[in-house]
Amino acid sequence: MAMNVHRIGTTFVLGICLLAGTVRAENWPGWRGPQRTGVTTDEGTPLTWSPTENVVWKKPLPGTGISNPVVWEDRIFITASEGRDQGELHVICLDRKTGAQLWHQRLWGTAPTVFFYPKSGMASPSPITDGKHLWAFFGTGDVFCFDLDGGLVWQRSLADEYGPFENRFAASSSPLLFEGTLILQCDHYGASYLIAIDQQTGANRWKADRPEVWLSWASPLLVPVDQHFELVVSGSEKLDAYDPRTGSRLWTMRGMARECVPTPVLGAGLLLAVSGPNGTHVAIKPGGSGDVTDSHVAWRNDRGTAFVPSGIVVGSRYYLADDKGIASCLDTATGKTLWRKRLGGNFTASPVAAGDKLFLTNEAGSTLVLDASKPEYEELGRNEIGEDLHASLAISQGFVFIRTSKNLVCIGKKVAAK
């Protein structure tokens, strides 16, 4: 089917900034933050809050979604969907310091998934930005490119070109950026594929069909190996690595669970992946060729695997909270379990960290803060936001951004206006 790319002009919207930033700060440009690890070096992040304490602002959001907020300097971007079939799409830009709306694009999805996940709708993938453009991908199979002032640059319907997404949760894989391309993992019961799209024009750079893959909601990860990168994707009982410049497959590791949701992470020179329920944690040495199941697996650990939340590496330790609220801490290099703890509640959101402070948030909106600088379990506090949530937190410039089922909440310390 022929590719259909629409290019559109731009508009400009002005915002007012009223709060001061911090000395050392990082943007949170896409899914799982600056390095796609869930970790930021951001300083000054508050460790305590409540529905009233340290709430800088709170803004209602339309519809539903579990995409995490994306932060670039003084702008926050977030997506949502609503309507009877969740086909009404939203891309919203807010002022980071005040929560004031800078622009709001209302769009129509091509092919909403019939049996969508009731917690998320069509806005599960997180958008991504390079500070010049914003790209938004939806479960309807639509991809949009905007300039940061809200102008629609181009749009594509992958559902029209390659078929609608066929699975019960719709698409949730978040895009990544690599050398001028936007890379999307599109695994489902229909024709699965990876695709690299030119960031500026919306045209295909390459497309790699995955006929042996029928299901995945995981997001791709770039892994540096010597002088090149591997594009690692998790889906349908295995991990695959591709050349991100050409789309050619490099290696395969078998042994994952049938349904893969968590995004792999890097730590101690190893690629760490998890799948479940009843799956396994697995650590793989990158840089292989062909089937590396027997040659490149460093360790496996079958306890504490999660179905939805991704893991996180902080320092030399690997942390994960499973869907039923049992957290595990493993030694990254060996896979040895250091501790397990029942946290309480159910978990959908993936953990995030600011330096050595680890944040784990359950579906009731309770965020547990742990000291990850020590091998033993040390709780620093529990913070209640008073609303249900399923989206992962974002941390940027001394603020924590919490997407609840109805609102976007900015947590931080107010600075008096001059």
Determine which of 240-254, 343-357, 404-418 has the lowest per-residue pLDDT on average.
404-418
Domain that holds residue 337: 6-411
pLDDT at 342: 96
Calpha distance 315→334 (Å, rounded): 14
Paired tokens of 13: 């919207």
Q: Is residue 417 part of a domain?
A: no
Q: Is residue 195 part of a domain?
A: yes
Paired tokens of 199: 């960031």
Model confidence band, residue 354 (pLDDT cutoffs 50, 70, 90): very high
pTM: 0.92
Give residue for tokens 């948030």. 361
Residue positions counted in the chain:
418
Is the model's pLDDT at 351 over the cut of 90? yes
The answer to whether 103 and 111 have CB atoms below 8 angstroms apart is no
Model confidence band, residue 213 (pLDDT cutoffs 50, 70, 90): confident
pLDDT at 195: 98
H-run or E-run covering 147: strand 142-147
Q: What is the mean pLDDT of residues 61-83?
A: 96
Determine which of 42-46, 159-163, 196-200, 352-356 has the lowest per-residue pLDDT on average.
42-46
pLDDT at 24: 56
Please spell the DSSP secondary structure of 335-398, one letter per residue. --EEEEEE--S---SPPEEETTEEEEE-TTSEEEEEETTSSS--EEEEEE-SS---SPPEEETT
Amino acid at 146: F
Max avg pLDDT among 3-12, 260-269, 330-339: 330-339
Determine which of 92-96, 281-285, 414-418 has the lowest per-residue pLDDT on average.
414-418
pLDDT at 390: 95
The answer to whether 267 and 284 have CB atoms below 8 angstroms apart is no
Q: What is the mean pLDDT of residues 192-196?
A: 96
In CATH, what number is assigned to the domain containing residue 16?
A: 2.130.10.10
Q: Environment class of residue 369 by beta-carbon count within 10 Å: exposed (0-12), middle (13-18) or buried (19+)?
A: buried
How large is the C-alpha radius of gyration of the chain?
20
Non-local (6+) Cβ contacts of 369 within 8 A are 47, 48, 357, 358, 359, 379, 380, 381, 382, 383
pLDDT at 186: 95
pLDDT at 215: 82
Percent of the chain having pLDDT more than 90?
A: 78
Amino acid at 233: V
Q: Which residue intervals of 116-260 are DSSP H helices?
A: 158-162
- Which of 97, 91, 100, 163 lies closest to 125 in space, CA to CA? 91
pLDDT at 333: 96
Q: Is residue 108 part of a domain?
A: yes
Calpha distance 127→92 (Å, rounded): 11
Q: Is residue 416 part of a domain?
A: no
Total structural domains in the chain? Answer: 1
Order of strands across the sheet with 142-147? 6-7, 152-157, 142-147, 133-137, 128-129
Is the model's pLDDT at 19 over the cut of 50? no
Q: For the chain, give the mean pLDDT.
A: 90
Q: What is the mean pLDDT of residues 8-22?
A: 32
Is the model's pLDDT at 203 over the cut of 80? yes
What single-letter DSSP state applies at residue 268? T
pLDDT at 117: 62
**pLDDT tens per residue across span 131-151:** 999 999 999 999 999 999 999
Q: Which residue intervals of 158-257 are DSSP H helices?
A: 158-162
Calpha distance 415→294 (Å, rounded): 56
Is the model's pLDDT at 319 over the cut of 50? yes
Is the model's pLDDT at 418 over the cut of 50? no
Q: Is residue 418 part of a domain?
A: no
Non-local (6+) Cβ contacts of 3 within 8 A are 156, 161, 203, 204
Q: What is the mean pLDDT of residues 60-81?
A: 97
Calpha distance 80→357 (Å, rounded): 29
pLDDT at 116: 56
Model confidence band, residue 69 (pLDDT cutoffs 50, 70, 90): very high
Q: Is residue 1 part of a domain?
A: no
Calpha distance 50→328 (Å, rounded): 26
Calpha distance 139→153 (Å, rounded): 20
What single-letter DSSP state applies at residue 162? H
